[in-house]
Structure 1
Amino acid sequence: MNGTKAEAWTEETRSVGSGRLAFIRTGGDRGAVLLVHGNSSCKEIFAHQISFLADRGYDVVAADLPGHGNSDDAPNPPDTYSFPGYARALSNLMEQLGVGAYHVVGWSLGGHIGLEMWSTLKAVRSLLITGTPPVRLSPDGAAEGFLPSATMDLAGKACFSEADVLAYGSAMLGTDIDRTSHLACCIARTHGEARRLMLQNGLAGIGQDEVVAVRECAKPLAIVQGKNDPFVNVSYLHRLTYKNLWLKNPTIVNGGHAPHWMQAVQFNNYLGEFIELTSGSGGII
């Protein structure tokens, strides 16, 4: 994500109770898709998907989470920086925009937020996740779904050094990033409490049990997972039980933690097919 931004659409802001959220909306009449980015990232990480979906007539909304990008830091961090807190902020945004039904695409932290929304909100009709193992919200659950590493430990660190910024961003994308890149600037800008409290709240069980959610929720779910992800235990994904998983198994693609960025063509082919299926006359919207 070196220097690339989704500049074709005007950024807007709305107040959603947790401060102002910055977002892009493309318009379109084929159904709405909400894109939810990862920890310490920003909406521009979905530049390839915004263009792809908008060109196919979908109404795409991509927002910076509270404490990230151009959105405000949360005025009440413990309440906002959790999976339910982020889900509430995004749900409020979609309600303000008058969107009553939408698909969610979530990457990494965005996938956990997506699982929260998908399993609790009627408005969310389907979910595609990448870089997100559905876990029980506990230390043992996280240990099952994630791979331990020094870089993984940064996910909950409040204060980042310059070296931390580069290490975390490079692991995200699977390639070295420059300190002047847009992603590096967004990592450095992220409210440190957003990382610390998100991890603390998640490990304390604040949110839905994601293993139960994927086993019991009948709404469509897709998993498009990079096979060389340094954070996710890919074999764990195959051990879970799913109620309605697209293609019956997790879809494993080339790339690491961010296949939507590094392998955009391959990822978008799956994304387009899934959204088309769940938006068509035989689908759910």
Structure 2
Amino acid sequence: MIEASYVDIGGTLSYVEQCGAGQPVLCVHTAGQSGVQWRRTTEELAALGYRVIVPDLPGHGRSEPAPGGPVDDLGWYARWCVELIDVLRLSRPFVVGCSIGGKIALDVATRVGSRLAGTVAMAATAGPGRVSMNGLRRELEDIAAPSRTDRTYLGTLAVVGRAVPAERAELIATMHRREDPAVSTSDLLGWGSHDVRSGLADIGCPVHLVVGEDDLWLDPATVRATAEAVPDGRFTMLEGIGHYPMEELDGFPARLHGWLSEWAVKA
């Protein structure tokens, strides 16, 4: 059973779902979205023996806004995640994230890697993401443009993998329409500027970089290079999958369990 609560983290009343008992797994969502992206993961992963923690980052989903408004610094979110780990007293957690969540997971690993059992960063690299920073800043000046919702919907469809059934792809894109444009644009500014490459060599936990073969946002070679720069790094490319493995991939909880269980002895 999923238990939900509000926790004061970083000066923000933040919505956090938890399920199960066992080794903690902190799951971080993508730009503009919320923990709802893990709805098909939480209970199944908990049934495999984990305590699954799924927050809504400040300004997302059911969490209150960050104190200074929309955040364009993914390092701020990483510090927020470390505080969440401390407040919930999570011992040797795994941190799993996708897209900006993957970047945040890598950032957390550079900060407190020796306290983690491992990190899975999906759809992310350690360097700045490929976006038009000037274009995104212009959007913040005209954020109420009526076409923004449609662009989110169509853009999501464009980065879902070819192996995903059309009905599921449609559901993923429809769910993504819910995001707050000011928050998601700020998140993407963070995606385009975040850079933890200098800290990869000092990460004190194993890191697994995962990329979808059909992810138009990323070059798999760059993702692989990030994995190779981590002392205990590994790389997986998912055939026919795009930018959102936890939403696209059938049997994702079991796949994630397989990745995490490789580190069980080290945990």
TM exceeds 0.5? yes
Aligned CA distance change for structure 1 residues 262 and 203 (closer, same or farther; 3 Å): closer
Matched, 1:103 2:90: no
Matches within 5 A, 1:172-187: 172=156, 174=160, 175-176=169-170, 181-185=174-178, 187=179
Partner of 1:20: 13
CA drift of 1:191 comes to: 6.5
Matched, 1:126 2:99: no
| Aligned 8 A contact 2:109 2:204 in 1 | no
Matches within 5 A, 1:57-76: 57-76=49-68
Q: Which 5+ residue runs of structure 2 have no aligned equivalent?
A: 161-168
Partner of 2:229: 242
The partner residue of 1:214 within 200, 223, 227 is 200
Write out per-residue CA displacement over residues 168-193 of structure 1, whole angstroms, 9 at most, x where no aligned residue: 244335234599x54322x1xx361x
Matched, 1:85 2:71: no
CA drift of 1:154 comes to: 5.8
The partner residue of 2:41 within 49, 58, 81 is 49
User: Aligned partners of 1:166 and 1:178: how far apart in 2?
Assistant: 13
| Aligned 8 A contact 2:74 2:187 in 1 | yes
**Equivalent AA in structure 2 for residue 23 of structure 1:** V
Deviates more, 1:231-240 or 1:169-178: 169-178
Matched, 1:167 2:160: no
CA drift of 1:63 comes to: 0.4
| Aligned 8 A contact 1:117 1:124 in 2 | no
Partner of 1:32: 24
Aligned CA distance change for structure 1 residues 204 and 184 (closer, same or farther; 3 Å): closer
Q: Which 5+ residue runs of structure 1 have no aligned equivalent?
A: 1-7, 136-140
Partner of 1:272: 257
User: Aligned partners of 1:271 and 1:155: how far apart in 2?
Assistant: 35
Percent identical among aligned pairs is 19
The partner residue of 1:261 within 242, 247, 257 is 247
Partner of 2:215: 229
Write out per-residue CA displacement over residues 16-52 of structure 1, whole angstroms, 9 at most, x where no aligned residue: 13311101011302x0000000111110101122122
Write out per-residue CA displacement over residues 246-284 of structure 1, whole angstroms, 9 at most, x where no aligned residue: 5x433333211112111132x434311121122x2x22x
Partner of 1:94: 85
